[in-house]
Every structure is written in C-alpha cells, then in structure tokens.
Amino acid sequence: MTPPDLTALNTELLRKHGEGQRLRIERGVAQVAALWRPEDGDLAAFVREQFISDQAQLDAAFARLESVFEQIDGHTHEVGREVRRATEVDVGPMLAVDPLLATYDPFAHVTEDLFQAKVGFVVLLNFPQTTLAERLEHGPKYSRREWAEARLGSRFSRRVPAEVRQALTRATADADLYIAQYNVWMHHLVDETGGRLFPAGLRLISHWNLRDELKARYADPDGLKKQQAIVKVMERIVTQTIPAAVIDNPHVDWNPFTNAVAAAPASEVEADAPNREVVTDGAREDDVRYRKLLANFHAAKREDPFVPIAPTAIARSFELGRELPEARVKALLEQVLTSPLVGRTAKLIEQRLGRPLGPQDLWYAGFRGNASLPEAELDARTKARYPTPEAFARDMPRLLQGLGFAPPRAKFLAEHILVDPSRGAGHALQSLRRGDFPHLRTRVGAGGMDYKGYNIAVHELGHNVEQVFSLYSVDHTLLAGVPNNAFTEALAFVFQARDLELLGVGKPDAASERERVLADFWATFEIAGVALVDVATWHWMYDHPEATPAELREAVVKIAQDTWDRYYAPVLGSPGTPLLGIYSHMISYPLYLADYPLGHLIAFQIEEHIHKAGKLGPEFERMASLGALTPDLWMTQATGAPVAAEPLLRATEAALDSAGAPPP
C-alpha cells in the first residue's frame, strides 16, 4: 500500500477503535506493511479483521500464541535434534546418509509458513516490535508481560526465505562435521630422535582436547617439551601446513617441527585405529579449514538483504544476538587486554614456573588445583567413577547437591537432563518446550570418562541446569532462556570452576579463592584476543567478499599474528605466532567466541554475588529464572550491577597483592 493508503487505513481504524488505540494502530500497521508482500493479499482487509482492541481478547490471543509457539518451537527443535543425532552423538559408525540428514533444518520454513498463514502478521499488528535502543531505554520499566510481548514481536523481526536459512544450516553442519572429525593421534607425534611424546591411544580433537592436554602437562616433568609440540601442531593447523595425511590417522608418524611424515611401525598402531591410507609425501591440507569458513560467510551473507535493521552477520551477532553493541564488547575486552595487571600476572606465572614464558603459557593452568596433580591421577579418578555416560547421569544428584541444590531440587534437575556420549568435545543441547529435556553430551572413551571429559561434562551440566530453570521456572515461556550465549557460558563456568571440589580434590579457602580470581583473569585475557581475531576475520571477509580460501588463510594468519604481537608478545614472547587462530569455533560456530570472555566477566560478577549471598543453588535458580532480558538489566536484577570488567580487575589486583606478585 502507498503511504496515503496507509494513512487512510489508520484513520479508519481510529474511528472504529478509538483514540486510545492510536499508538498501537500506527505501530502495528507500519510493522505489518514493512514485511507484507503483494502475494500476501489484501493488507487493508487483513488489518480490519485482525486488529484487536479489546484487552480481554488481546490477553487471550497473547496466551494462545505463547502456548502454541512453545509447542511449535519445542517439537521442531526435537526433529532437528534427531536428524543430527548420528553426527553429534556416538551411536556407532556413521552412515553415508547421516551428514545429509544433519544439513536438514526443520526450522527453515517455520517463520515463512507462519507469515504465509498470516499468524506472523497478527503478531506484528497487535504486539510491539521494539528496537534494541527502545529496550535499553525503557526495558527497566517494562512489566514481565511487556517483556514477553517484546520477545513475541521480535520473533517476526525478519522474513528470511527458507532456502537462505537452509543454506546456512548446510554450511554450519558441514563445518561442524569437519571439526568433529579433526583429531590428532598424539602417540604418533615424534621428536627429532623418533621418540614418542604421548601414550598410545591418545586421540585429541582440535582445538579443545589439544588445549586441555597442553594445560594438563604443567604437572609433568617433561611437560614443556610436550606443550611446545602441541603449540606447533596448533600453528600448523592455523597456517594449513599440517600434512593432510596425519589428520585422524594413526598409521603415520609426524614430527610437527620438521613436518616430516613416515609410516608408523605396525607395532605402534593402535588396535582401534580407523582404516586410513598410509601417505608419506607430506602434502599439506589444502585450505579446507578456510573453505569451510568461507562457506559459512557466504551463507550468512545471503541473509543480509532480509534484515535491514542488522544488515550484516556481525551486526546480527551483536545487535540481535547479544543485544550489546560491538563497540562496547570490544571496549570491555580491550580493557582486560591492556590492563597493567596482565604484566604482573605474567611475572607471577614466570616466578612459579622458574622459566621465561612462552606461547604455551597462554593456557597456563597453575592457578587451578589440578596443576599440582598428575593427569593420570585425575584420569584414574574420573574413569573409575564414570565408566559410561549412564554413570555420570546416575551421579548427577550428588553433584548437584555438592553445588548447593537441596536434594529435591537436585533430583528434579537430574530427572530433567539426559546424558549422551558425544562425537565431538561435548556440548549442551537445550530443550524448547516443557516436557522435553536438555541433553548433556561429553566424550567418553572405551576406558571411561577421562578428566578432560569430566571437566567438560561439569561445564555442560551448568548449561543444562540453566536451561532447565530458564524454561521450567520462568513465568513466560516467551522469556525462556538468558540474555545471550555469554550468560549461559557464565553460568556454566560457575559449575566448571568447582569440578575438582566435586571430585573430592581440594576445599575452597582464602588461598584457593585468590587462585580462582587469578585463573578467571588469565582465562579472560587468553580468550579476549581470540574473540577479537574472530570478529576481525568477519570484517575482513565483508571487505573482501570474493576472497579465495588461500587469501582468507593469509588474512587470518596476519590478523592472528598482529593481535598476538599487540597484546600477547610483550608477556609471552614468540612474535608472529598465529596461535590465536586455532579455535575451532571460528570454523563451526561463527562469531560465537566473544561470548567466552564476556562469559568470564559475567561469571565473575555472579561468583562475587554468590559469595555474598550464600549457597550457590538457590541463587543460581533465581538468576536463571529471570529469563531473556537485556544483558545489563539481567545483570542488575541478578547481581545489582550491569556487565562490567572492573569487578574482575579490582579483585585481580587484590589477589596479585596477596600472592606477592611483583609490583607494576
């Protein structure tokens, strides 16, 4: 309709429904007109029929839509979970059809189908579609119903064709499968003498398990040599100079420093080795990593024209996903990266290690209690306790009571979380309707769950507990969830920080609290630069949309090197290392990485609040039940203050003073 036609329609509706409905009429008609297409039919007739002015009828429509959307979302999500199950869960050898099933997105047509059925337009006509600026300004004064209405309206803020959504699903599923199968058989890393650095059977996924193995080697007398080998493996992956033949292949031996490849002696090949060809020419992996990243970029870019309010994937990630402007997130990260506390912390680490720091110390684990315990001892404890995923599931009530949940609540939570063996490193898969349960997925080896798997499982348990409370305890299912991924990561960090205590290793005291603060600070420092590399990479792709995989590889390496040289080389040395580009999220979870440093900042504020308030369990439930508010409002209601870096920095300074760290 033309602007005059819309004005006439508004006038007609005002005469029928009264002046008191002016704002709702003008806003609703404008929202409908913005997404109405000629094939949708007669806009005016639709508006005349579907505008609701009676409050009782509006309340009834709101309740009906909330109930129906919970069922649509919940059951559609369950279909998606099942078609991806074989690629995400270790249910035995994958069939050729399984990767194809994983690319099917049952949500692809849902929104467009609801628009074609006119349900989406009923929402837009009768409920507000707020901007981020409006929510930030007026959100603190919204009632819970008004917040639920805002989330209802935002459901139809974009009208993306199903084929565009499906293309993005295919790209991310393909990248995720690539990462899930990217393993390095560590027994087949050899040094210059042909010596083997790691035990037989150790098969580590990149980057998660490689990083965790590196962290675990601080208690190993020969750990530095092993850590340096892992760093070289990571660098080879980023630069794509890793020989293609060594990826998930225990039939060949590899020296990551010289890049030489040789056939592994038959006596050294593991009994459970997959059938792989023995290739010793050393030919590198042909930029597969960057082809997957480019495929994600091109698929995401197809959505740009359909979301004028956030016309890039970067904008959608920050403005619509996190509801935090990119500039503010960068400022928070740089506040940590440029803090003089980084240098003081590095000096303290250097004192403890008794050697100059290197790039491996980006993942320094000495602020954790397990740094003084051999990895084998921790593995023995977890494997004995958790020989199967079912054993971990049976132990969840005890774990949850150990975290401060009352026995009835711990039982309720355990009954609402299912445990699966993961093909990848592990993840938590939420549920979207009451009556369905979230899934905890972690890797369990043939000999049981090793410490790495257990650590991940406790982290994922934090996600799952949040997911149960933020669905079952929230007052409106339209508000189910938390503000963004950083918040669910933060709540998961709260659980993960207590993994050793739950294992019966270490009791919290003043010294361990100091160590916790320093660990949080160093972990935030570590991942903040990685997040900046991720975001900068996407800016580069938007600036160079026709780039080849080789050009993207060169750009990522340069971005990672520059970021390292600016923030990390002054304390860790090794200028020019591309190490910050190793995180697998860059390939399979586009633009996710900024949620981790934000999550650390948020987790610290939550921890500080819990310390003051008392038991973790009741406060965790209260906070997780606040629902999907904007980040600062959620934080203010949860802890009394908006998202900020200052609490972590203040506590870090006090912890450094207490630890006898060198002055600035």
- Confirm if 179 and 588 have CB atoms less than 8 A apart: yes
Three-state SS at 402: helix
Q: Which residues pair with 372 in a beta bridge?
A: none
**Four-CA torsion 563, 460, 176, 172, nearest 10 degrees:** -80
Are β-strands 418-421 and 439-442 bridged in parallel, bridged antiparallel, or unpaired? parallel
| Distance from C-alpha of 447 to C-alpha of 270, rounded to nearest angstrom | 14
How many Å apart are CA 260 and CA 250, to the nearest integer? 15
With 0.75 as the threshold, say if the pTM is over it: yes
Separation CA 556–CA 230 (nearest Å): 20
- The Cα 76–Cα 379 span in angstroms is 38
State residue 508's pLDDT score: 64
> What's the CA gap between 487 and 596, in Å, rounded?
9
Give the separation between CA 412 and CA 396, rounded to whole angstroms: 10
Helix (H) or strand (E) holding 349: helix 341-353
Classify 450 as helix, strand or coil.
coil
Average pLDDT of each block of 10 consecutive residues along the chain (664 residues)? 91 97 96 94 97 98 98 97 94 93 91 96 96 92 97 92 90 93 96 93 94 92 96 98 97 97 96 93 96 98 90 94 93 98 97 97 83 78 95 97 96 97 88 97 90 92 97 97 92 90 80 87 97 98 98 98 98 98 95 93 90 90 96 96 93 93 82
- Could you tell me the CA-to-CA distances from 577 to 128, 241, 533, 556 in Å, in that order? 49, 14, 13, 12
Asked whether the beta carbons of 289 and 237 are under 8 A apart, the reply is yes
Under 8 Å between Cβ of 448 and 386: yes
Packed helices 451-472 and 407-415: angle between N→C axes, nearest 10 degrees: 100
Closest CA to 216 of 186, 180, 257: 186
Q: Phi/psi at 439 (nearest 5 deg)?
A: -115, 130
Where b means 16+ CB within 10 Å and e means fewer, 609-625 reads bbeeeeebbebbbebbb
Which of 14, 296, 54 has the alpha carbon at shortest distance from 170?
296
Cis omega (within 30 of 0) for bond into 611? no
Give pLDDT, residue 157: 87
Query: Where in 381-531 does DSSP place strands (E)?
Result: 418-421, 426-429, 439-442
CA angle 404/406/411 to nearest 5° reads 110
User: Which residue in 453, 571, 11 sits closest to 203, CA to CA?
Assistant: 453
Measuring CA to CA, which residue among 251, 238, 168 is closest to residue 210?
238
* Cβ within 8 Å of residue 280, ≥6 positions away: 245, 252, 261, 262, 263
Task: Write down the pLDDT at residue 6.
Answer: 95
What single-letter amino acid sits at 517?
Answer: V
| Dist. CA 58–CA 131, nearest whole Å | 22
Cα–Cα distance, 27 to 454 (Å, whole number): 51
Instruction: Give the integer Cα–Cα distance in Å for 88 and 588.
Output: 13
CA 274 to the chain's CA centroid:
30
DSSP letter at 355 equals S
Q: Looking at residue 371, what is its pLDDT?
A: 52
Q: Are 521 and 345 in contact (CB under 8 A)?
A: yes
CB 298 within 8 A of CB 320: no
